[in-house]
Structure 1
Amino acid sequence: MRRITLLLLLTLLLLTAGVLYVVLPQVRPERKQTKATPEVIFSSTGPNINIYSSEVSDTLRLMVFADTHLWMSDEREEPFSEYSARMAGAYHSVKHFQTGAPTTPEESFVNTIRLAQSRGADAIAMLGDIISYPSERGVEWIKEVLDTVAIPYYYTCGNHDWHYEGMEGSGEALREKWREERLRPLFGEHDPDLYGVDLKGVRLLFVDDSDYVIKARQRDMLATEVKSGKPFILLHHIPFYALGRSVSFGIGHPEWGAATDKNYKIERREQWPAEGHSATDYEFYDLATTAPNLLASVAGHVHSFGVDIIHGRPHYTVGANAQGAYYMLTVMPLKR
């Protein structure tokens, strides 16, 4: 008797659902967006990235590259040759990332700047290791090439730009010294630690994380940017940690530290700290990867193209510009 009653009830429910289905038309639910969770859609093919955002109203085209590893020097470099010799001997001849043809860092840099011009880039973003050591001639040459096009350019450091291998002094002190004495022309008036630029409704944030360490003032400035709600792209050298990635993706990597530092001897620098990342490092990582107004981040360092999705946002790495690699990143309004 109980089974019959249950069957009757189930039949009645199914009939009721059927009637409701007939009476009420199927309507696609409207996608709800709030200021706290702006909608972002992204896609990429080869060296081209497209980002669509509900928070922008104009189209922004950004030429992004890293790791050109220019090694040029002149007589001014002679007193520093013992510190630059290893990197001065690297990247003399490389293969183009698309064609496989022989090329050089100089040729790749020039071609990238010309491509930025021909494709109508609104700005050029250089994400570190553009030079292999803080060469005066290298910085002058970069400026000479950039000044041939009427495109604003922005720069942040990599771990090689400021590093003279084996030079006495702490890494932090040497970075401060060579950023000011050699690399300042590439920064202009901007703060080398972290600065922002507004272009076509998008905030570009450049962060120097070239020693894998985040300063408290960098964390605090990022917190202010996140709180502002303005859509932003984070541009830096060392990529963010994602599950399964090596310690080269070092910002926020739980295994980063002395035990995993395999290159400090050959690079003749301080070993990473035994205790690993600080609370400030992790706070910066959490802020950046959970920010609702983040459109994407782009980094260099690993010399390979890739993308990791962290909390629904893309975090890209770009191949080595020594081999001609770049991203043409386009941000467009999302229209439905």
Structure 2
Amino acid sequence: MENMRILHRKIRIEGLKKHYTFLHITDTHIACFGKTETAVRAEYAKERRRAFSIDGIAPEKRLQTYIEYANEARVSGVLLTGDIIDFPSPENLAVLDDALAALKVPYVYTPGNHDWSYFDNYQTEDAVRCCRPLLRRFCGGDEDFHVRKVGELTFAALDNSMDVYRPQTDSRLKALLGSAEHVIILQHVPLYCDTLHEDTVKVWKRDITMGQSGIVLDESADRITELLTAAPSVRAILCGHLHFSHEDLVGGVLPQYITAFGSLGEAALFDIGG
């Protein structure tokens, strides 16, 4: 479609009986606001909207284009890995409601660091208590950790938007990996990889991935990395956050796919088969 670039990626999983296609959308940073915002927030939103209206195309228009593509292409599902909205204004949430309601295929959504935070209340206890739950309706009723099965594939959406995994992620993930066969992990922030470090620092001036030489706020990144790389049922990790596309192997064994930010006009189409 016009004004949209599709990055084609393949995942081959031995034993799959059917073929699937999934559209991966991340980091559109929609910045819609109304008269209820404070003057300071309104000015910030205007700046963010200008910054993410690349080539003169508003972020919400980008999302609409992706949704239309998914419906027309009849993909198996849509995977959204956070920062679809830039802050949780009523207007942004309404845009997201309308966009996802228009989808004719299943979707899985996991939060990013911006979806639920305003810049002047960024990831505070108040934001966690009052704003994170606003995403619950998009996250299968649980923004911390939720699972959706599409055909033979199991998608596990893990919230690491605060650069840590939420409490009980370890135990819930262990239970899932003990029963599911073909698991694909969705999360916003990528896990650290040696091959990703240089490119991340080049763009962000520091490593904003999780673990090792990236951001380490607790031991959860190490624990989850160990769980994922040791589990034969985990087939891939899909994420965003960095605003550029990249492919790596976490721990040298587990494919990790990062898709560029959606406000740039790019999404990834995953061809998954045996």
Q: Which category of TM-score, normalised to the shorter sequence, fits these structures?
A: 0.7 to 0.9
CA distance in 2: counterparts of 1:69 and 1:129, whole angstroms:
6
Residues 62 and 330, structure 1, Cα contact 8 Å, conserved in 2: yes
Match of 2:235 in 1: 295
Q: Give yes or no for the alignment of 1:241 onto 2:199.
A: no
Q: Give yes or no for the alignment of 1:192 onto 2:143.
A: yes
3-state DSSP of counterpart to 1:47: strand
Match of 1:73 in 2: 33
Q: Give yes or no for the alignment of 1:179 onto 2:122.
A: no
3-state DSSP of counterpart to 2:260: coil
User: 1:20-169 maps to which residues of 2 (within 5 A)?
Assistant: 47-76=7-36, 78-79=37-38, 81-83=39-41, 85-92=43-50, 101-167=55-121
| 1:185 Cα offset (Å) | 3.2
Match of 1:304 in 2: 244
CA distance in 2: counterparts of 1:46 and 1:146, whole angstroms:
20
In our comparison, the structure showing a higher alpha carbon Rg is 1
Residues 159 and 166, structure 2, Cα contact 8 Å, conserved in 1: no
CA 308–46 in structure 1, closer or farther in 2 if over 3 Å, else same: farther
CA distance in 2: counterparts of 1:155 and 1:123, whole angstroms:
11
TM-score normalized by the length of structure 2: 0.86
3-state DSSP of counterpart to 2:120: coil
Encode CA deviations 1:66-109: one digit per residue, 9 max, x unaligned: 11111001223x24x5346434412426576xxxx542212211
| 1:329 Cα offset (Å) | 1.1
Residues 6 and 267, structure 2, Cα contact 8 Å, conserved in 1: no
CA distance in 2: counterparts of 1:206 and 1:316, whole angstroms:
15
Residues 236 and 256, structure 2, Cα contact 8 Å, conserved in 1: yes
Residues 56 and 201, structure 1, Cα contact 8 Å, conserved in 2: yes
CA distance in 2: counterparts of 1:72 and 1:229, whole angstroms:
39
CA distance in 2: counterparts of 1:294 and 1:249, whole angstroms:
23
Amino acid at match of 2:59: P
Q: Give yes or no for the alignment of 1:250 onto 2:221.
A: no
Residues 139 and 185, structure 1, Cα contact 8 Å, conserved in 2: no
Encode CA deviations 1:190-246: one digit per residue, 9 max, x unaligned: 311011111111100111100111134011111222222511110110001001514
Structure 2, unpaired ranges of 5+: 201-205
Residues 201 and 231, structure 1, Cα contact 8 Å, conserved in 2: yes
| 1:290 Cα offset (Å) | 3.1
CA distance in 2: counterparts of 1:171 and 1:94, whole angstroms:
24
CA distance in 1: counterparts of 2:150 and 2:193, whole angstroms:
29
CA 103–118 in structure 1, closer or farther in 2 if over 3 Å, else same: same
Amino acid at match of 2:8: N
Residues 109 and 324, structure 1, Cα contact 8 Å, conserved in 2: no
3-state DSSP of counterpart to 1:86: helix
Aligned residues: 261
CA distance in 2: counterparts of 1:54 and 1:84, whole angstroms:
51
3-state DSSP of counterpart to 1:166: helix
Match of 2:222 in 1: 282
TM-score normalized by the length of structure 1: 0.71
The alignment-based identity, stated in percent, is 21
CA distance in 1: counterparts of 2:153 and 2:107, whole angstroms:
15
Encode CA deviations 1:271-316: one digit per residue, 9 max, x unaligned: xxxxx43233311121123321111111110000101123333101
Q: Give yes or no for the alignment of 1:214 onto 2:165.
A: yes
Encode CA deviations 1:156-202: one digit per residue, 9 max, x unaligned: 1111111122238x63542242022x323322x43110111111111
3-state DSSP of counterpart to 2:255: strand
